[in-house]
């Protein structure tokens, strides 16, 4: 159990600033997800916390003690890498036992712990195999078992599911979450996949260009994005943004519904919607078109679930509406949310 804190953390590679003044504080036993596009600095941030990169400036604290200059082995952390980074020349047993050996653990104790850890992930029958004789899912379990065997205080995961196929990824996500809950360990999880982030994270740290754009629960970052980056990075299709005076008005495609099915219990904001194109995705219908306002930014997408059966055709105009409480407003110049509740964006 541990808390992890980053204070004004900066990492520069030559003239490139990979991480630009990140502040972060996890709660004890929290599952924190770092989410952002490729190259946003999330992996660099994780590597600094692991001790694999030295910060240019700033501090890293684990359990309130300064770890900034210390090597990885002094931090009692475990890390699962994207490629799993199993030692190819060692058996599964030796892979899992590896973190115990520098600690001077006794042989009998090593055997016990390896069996315990392997048992937790259901790989006890694979202990004598080499990594190359394992499937992708099995390798991932070995990597997890190796990370867990030392009972670390902090668990770092760098896109550990990205090498699994889609079906396996869903079940692995569920297992990972269950495991973290059961052990109650603090976990920091890096991903660029928003579905993974929303599904796994107790809180999500959304990053872009080396900076933290928003920290919040999945519901918060989805419903109340701190700026237009978060608004358009999360959600598929992304949030619609249309111009109104000096503001950008944002609403989710699934909140943009035909007037007749829009909830009457809340205040509605109606739009004339000129449909240009339709896509049927099976579970949803995506309706592309323009809303009837005087602005160059008036292209929006509506996402209608299967159970909305109202016929819609391209080339026609319909009455659509959004509930007022589902609308976000952003400053047109800065892109920041106009809402005093979320102070992160400056």
User: Is residue 79 close enough to count as binding another protein by CB under 8 A?
Assistant: yes
Cβ-contact 4, 24 below 8 angstroms: yes
Contact between 52 and another protein by CB under 8 A: the answer reads: yes
Q: Which of residues 29-48 bind another protein (CB under 8 A)?
A: 47
Footprint on residues 208-227 left by another protein (CB under 8 A): none
Least distance to another protein from the beta carbon of 220, Å? 31
| Positions of E strands within 98-199 | 154-158, 186-191
Out of 132, 167, 182, 340, the only residue in the binding site for another protein (CB under 8 A) is 132
Query: Of 27, 89, 181, 316, which lies in the binding site for another protein, with binding defined by CB under 8 A?
Result: 89
Which DSSP helix (H) or strand (E) runs through 319? strand 317-323
Residue 78 near another protein by CB under 8 A: yes
Residues 141-160 within binding reach of another protein (CB under 8 A):
146, 150, 156
CA angle 174, 180, 183 (to 5 degrees): 135
Contact assessment for residue 115 and residue 140, using Cβ atoms and an 8 Å cutoff? no
Token pair in block for residue 92: 């599964």
DSSP state string for 21-86: EEEEEPPTT-EEEEE--TTSSHHHHHHHHHTSS--SEEEEEETTEE-TTS-GGGS-EEEE-TT---
Could you tell me if 127 and 91 are in contact, meaning their C-beta atoms sit under 8 angstroms apart? yes
In the complex, the smallest distance separating the C-beta of residue 87 from another protein, rounded to whole angstroms, is: 6
Which of 17-25, 50-58, 317-325, 335-343 is the region at the interface with another protein (rule: CB under 8 A)? 50-58
**Coil, strand or helix at 223:** helix
Q: Which of residues 103-122 bind another protein (CB under 8 A)?
A: 103
| Near another protein in 253-282, by CB under 8 A | none
**Contact residues for another protein, defined by CB under 8 A:** 47, 50-52, 71-73, 77-79, 81-83, 85-89, 98-99, 101-103, 131-132, 146, 150, 156
């Amino acid at each position: 159990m541990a808390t992890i804190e980053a204070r004004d953390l900066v990492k520069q590679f030559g003239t490139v600033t990979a991480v630009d003044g990140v502040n972060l504080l996890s709660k004890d036993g929290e599952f924190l997800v770092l989410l952002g596009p490729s190259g946003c600095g999330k992996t660099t941030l994780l590597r600094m916390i692991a001790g694999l990169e030295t910060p240019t400036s700033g501090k890293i604290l684990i359990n309130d003690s300064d770890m900034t200059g210390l090597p990885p082995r002094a931090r009692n952390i475990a890390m699962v890498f994207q490629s799993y980074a199993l030692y190819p020349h060692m058996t599964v047993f030796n892979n899992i036992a590896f973190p115990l050996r520098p600690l001077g653990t006794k042989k009998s104790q090593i055997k016990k712990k390896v069996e315990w850890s392997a048992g937790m992930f259901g790989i006890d029958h694979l202990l004598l195999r080499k990594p190359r004789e394992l499937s992708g899912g099995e390798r991932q379990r070995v990597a997890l078992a190796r990370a867990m065997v030392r009972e670390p205080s902090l668990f770092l995961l760098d896109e550990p599911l990205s090498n699994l196929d889609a079906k396996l990824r869903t079940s692995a996500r569920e297992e990972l979450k269950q495991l973290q809950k059961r052990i109650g360990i603090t976990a920091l999880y890096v991903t660029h996949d928003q579905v993974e982030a929303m599904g796994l994270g107790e809180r999500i740290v959304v990053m872009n260009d080396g900076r933290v754009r928003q920290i919040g629960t999945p519901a918060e970052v989805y419903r109340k994005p701190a700026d237009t980056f978060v608004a358009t990075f999360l959600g598929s299709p992304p949030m619609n943004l249309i111009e109104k005076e000096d503001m950008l008005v944002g609403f989710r495609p699934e909140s943009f519904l035909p007037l007749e099915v829009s909830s009457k219990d809340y205040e509605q904001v109606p739009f004339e919607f000129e449909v240009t194109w339709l896509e049927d995705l099976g579970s949803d219908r995506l309706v592309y078109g323009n809303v009837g306002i005087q602005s160059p930014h008036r292209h929006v997408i509506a996402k209608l679930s299967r159970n909305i059966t109202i016929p819609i055709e391209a080339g026609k105009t319909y009455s659509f509406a959004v509930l007022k409480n589902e609308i976000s407003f952003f400053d047109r110049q800065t892109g920041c949310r106009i809402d005093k509740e979320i102070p992160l964006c400056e």
